[in-house]
Amino acid sequence: MALYPVCWWEDDGQEDADAAEVRLTVNGHLSLSDARASYARCGAADTRFLPYVRKPDVTEQ
């Protein structure tokens, strides 16, 4: 598993097919869909992660 410092989402293997499912794994109460929507709104998988995220590098945009 990898933690992405740009959004603070930890890859738990979730894919588009099950993106709305809450797995209650390392990402807690967040589904991938929830995290994507939150990132679009505020720049992090959840607002509580805002102190930890960084701006994406040019290669990550």
Q: What is the pLDDT of residues 19-54, one digit of tens each?
A: 999 998 899 999 999 999 999 999 999 999 999 999
In this predicted structure, the answer to whether residue 16 has a pLDDT above a threshold of 80 is yes
Q: Can you give the C-alpha Rg of the chain in angstroms?
A: 11
What proportion of the chain, given as a percentage, has pLDDT over 70? 98
Domain count, the chain: 1
Q: Give residue 44's domain range.
A: 3-60
Q: In this structure, which long-range contacts are made by residues 53-59, counting pairs with CB atoms below 8 Å and at least 24 apart in sequence? A: 53/5, 53/6, 53/7, 53/8, 54/5, 54/6, 55/6, 56/6
Q: What is the pTM of this model?
A: 0.87
With pLDDT > 90 as the criterion, what percentage of the chain qualifies? 80
